[in-house]
Amino acid sequence: PVGIAEFARESWIAGCPRCRTQLVEVCAAAGFAPRIDFATDDYPAVHALVAAGLGVAVLPALALESVRP
């Protein structure tokens, strides 16, 4: 497992407003504020942004089901 603090210097791609709030809270508890460069509640868009190397994201496992080979 990887701790979220290991991604403190990364660009973040945030999800829905509630998810963004939770992301900020979890990151604050880990000692940093995420630099959110993109925000969308469209999971395929989040995946595409991550795949393009534009940032990191936290998604539920179910959101990845449609993109797994």
25-60 residue pLDDT tens? 999 999 999 999 999 999 889 999 999 999 999 987
Residue-level pLDDT at 21? 95
More confident residue, 63 or 46: 46
pLDDT attached to residue 61: 78
Are 15 and 59 within 8 A, CB to CB? yes
Residue-wise DSSP of 8-28: TTSEEEE-SHHHHHHHHHHHH
- Determine the pLDDT at residue 62: 76
Which CATH superfamily includes the segment(s) 4-67?
Periplasmic binding protein-like II (3.40.190.10)
Res 65: pLDDT: 72
